[in-house]
Chain A
Amino acid sequence: MKIVVLMKQVPNTTEMLIDKETGTLIRTGVDSIMNPDDTSALEAALKIKQSNGAEVIVITMGPPQAANMLRECYGRGVDHAMLISDPAFAGADTWATSNTLAAAIKRVQPDLIFAGRQAIDGDTAQVGPQVAERLNIPQITYVSKIVEVTSDFIVVKKHYEDFDETLKVSFPCLLTTLEQLDHLRFMNVTSAWQAFDKPIETVNNQVLMLDAKDIGLKGSPTQVRKTFTRPVSSEVKLIHGGSDEAVKAILSTLAPYIQ
């Protein structure tokens, strides 16, 4: 069995602060991390490798420094790592990104594709389903548990707002995972050392040969007109002092809302 895991290196958005003077994002000093939902996708693939035997191939699209994340994946037990990187792919929205990823995946012909549900920088949750559409294969999103894996099909639990479904789907298919599905294992010391010598296959558009109108910023149907940070309000009434004053202030605020 061949399993592809789609992963993304993202800035740690929980660490991000806004420069109150300029109203812009402070990006210096913010770590790059493995996207949280993708960590459980990787672990799910590695567990299937252990239980059923599989070749696990990690694919990421991004700038050259995303290779660091791929080395980390080698340290955790993947068999092959592919970096899709080309200035021509930069600035892609989800439509153009999924065209590019799907073209790379077609070269691998996997049975099963895992992706994190969404990345914490864009938060769209669109790339997984759009890759599945491009490959014309079934998808199950919001996977919270792997129930059973055979050589022909997989049974998983999908998490809805207020119920769960247990679903069976045949290969090939694409699954997007929730972070809580599983915890990513630690790196093993030997593999971590060996990771530095493992080859990272770099794929650019000379390899994929996609039409310029289907990739990158120019191939993206959506465009960013402007970006801005939230305006800071100064209307707050700050109450310092003891608990009694606090209680009084809260009760008078609550009064109109309680019967």
Chain B
Amino acid sequence: MTKDIFVFIETRNNIIAEVSLQLLSEARKLKAQYAQKGLNHQVVGVLPGYNVENLPATLFNYGADKVILCQHEKLKEATTQHTSKVLSDIIRAFEPDSFLIGATVIGRDIAPRVAARVDTGLTADATIIEVDMASDTSLLLITRPAFGGNLFGTIVCPNFRPQMATIRPNVFEKTEIEAEAGEVVYFETTFDETDWVEILKREVQQAKTNDIAKARIIVSAGRSMAKHLDLIKDFAQTLNAEVGASRGLVETGALGKDVQVGQTGKTVRPLVYIACGISGAVQHTAGMDKAECIIAINSDPNAAIFQIAHVGIVGDAVLILPKLKEELQKILN
């Protein structure tokens, strides 16, 4: 029987992607569920890269029992061609029971290719992963949103291994544990001589705002706020918060795609999410409903956002925000 939960460790410039650590911590929870069924699954970090011998120590601290390290100059940066090759080869060599991959741009690029190459099932953008305690197998129940977040489906992959899933950043939390260094297994493979793709240029995006995915507090605006963004920005600045947006607002061009929250934007889990003039289509709430505290301001008392808010204000954000900012400044000074 196949064993172990493998997690793809994504790195760039010798820095581990946060989502990879979040997945190790989540895999640790699955390991505990398996243990209840008498199954001894290990959490294994799969680390392709170049000059990354220093990284396994961190992986053990976030839940890895073992690390498979594959180093090659062609793995310096994750690419479709070479990373797909090494992950497929590792799957064939070790036959893991499951394989979790962060749903980053590169993760969503390589995971489908790997699943097609090793002929197994892949579930995209999972939000809940649990061991099927009712069966006597190692089956995972993988839940994901579909139809723009309007519907959730629980997906299983009963007849093929590994059970693969991608998971968006910030859906799970990373937890540091006190762990002794585990085993590092060195894996070698071969690569094509010629590269498919030639990188001509790399540019950091201009006018990059702070990353809303890491914000403690987000003040988010809906389409109706397009002409009142100054109010939103002023208030956010006073509160030392980041500005977010619904898809509707981003479609007006008033704010960039990088601050869009939701199924087709980013998933965020701040301490506080203040939704101003956002109706609360599931498309949007799928990306923010894990905030610790949700405050919603909307003039429509039947707005769907109130179904998930902790505090709902029935009123016009355009009138409320300036007063709120004024009172807030008094407190902060």
Contacts and interface: CB of A to CB of B under 8 A. Distances in A.
Interface of A: 11, 13-14, 16, 18, 25, 93-95, 98, 120-130, 132-134, 138-142, 155, 158-170, 173, 180, 220-230, 232-233, 235-244, 246-247, 249-251, 253-254, 257-258
B196 A123 contact: no
B116 A133 contact: yes
Contacts of B105: 141-142, 158-161
A258 B332 contact: yes
Minimum-distance CB pairs A-B, first 9: A221-B121, A13-B148, A138-B196, A222-B121, A124-B124, A126-B112, A129-B112, A133-B116, A166-B201
Contacts of A233: 307-308
Nearest to B305: A236
Nearest to B110: A129
A93 B119 CA distance: 12
Interface string B94-108: 000000000011101
A125 B106 CA distance: 12
A162 B331 CA distance: 35
- The main secondary structure of chain B at its interface with chain A is mixed
A16 B201 contact: no
Nearest to A237: B311
Contacts of A18: 150, 282
B205 interface: yes
Contacts, number: 242
Contacts of B205: 162-164
Interface in B251-267: 257, 263-264
Interface of B: 80-81, 84, 104-106, 108-113, 115-117, 119-125, 141, 145-148, 150-160, 196-205, 208, 211, 216-217, 239, 247, 257, 263-264, 271-272, 274, 281-283, 285, 293, 295, 297, 301, 306-315, 319-320, 323-324, 327-328, 331-332
29 contacts: A13-B148, A13-B150, A16-B147, A16-B150, A16-B282, A120-B148, A124-B112, A126-B111, A133-B84, A133-B112, A133-B113, A134-B116, A140-B80, A160-B105, A164-B202, A165-B199, A165-B201, A166-B201, A167-B197, A169-B197, A221-B157, A224-B155, A236-B307, A250-B274, A250-B295, A250-B311, A257-B293, A258-B239, A258-B332
Given A221-B157, A238-B312, A167 B146 contact: no
Contacts of B310: 235-237, 253
A233 B280 CA distance: 13
Contacts of A246: 297, 313, 315, 320, 324
A238 B308 contact: no
Best-buried of A122, A126, A169, A239 by chain B (most CB within 10 Å): A126
A224 B153 contact: yes
Contacts of B151: 25, 227-229
B17 to A, nearest CB: 10
Contacts of A121: 146-148
A25 B196 contact: no
A257 B109 CA distance: 38
A13 B306 CA distance: 20
Contacts of A168: 197-198, 200
Nearest to A238: B312
A257 B272 contact: yes
A33 to B, nearest CB: 12
A139 B145 CA distance: 26
Nearest to A99: B116
A29 to B, nearest CB: 14
Contacts of A164: 202-203, 205
Contacts of A11: 147
Contact of A141 (B108, B115, B147): B108
A228 B297 CA distance: 28
A20 to B, nearest CB: 9
B108 A95 contact: no
A186 B160 CA distance: 45
Contacts of B203: 163-164, 166
A94 B155 contact: no
A130 B113 contact: yes
Contact of B313 (A16, A128, A159, A249): A249
A14 B311 contact: no
B224 to A, nearest CB: 16
Given A95-B121, A236-B307, A239-B311, A120 B198 contact: no
Contacts of A243: 315, 319-320, 323
Contact of B125 (A124, A134, A223): A124
Contacts of B160: 221
Contact of B282 (A95, A226, A230): A230
B261 to A, nearest CB: 15
Given A162-B204, A221-B119, A237-B312, A125 B108 contact: yes
Given A132-B113, A160-B105, A239 B153 contact: no
Contact of A166 (B148, B157, B200): B200
A231 B120 CA distance: 31
A253 B293 contact: yes
A247 B104 contact: no
A221 B163 CA distance: 9
B263 to A, nearest CB: 6
Contacts of B313: 238-239, 246, 249-250
B315 A251 contact: no
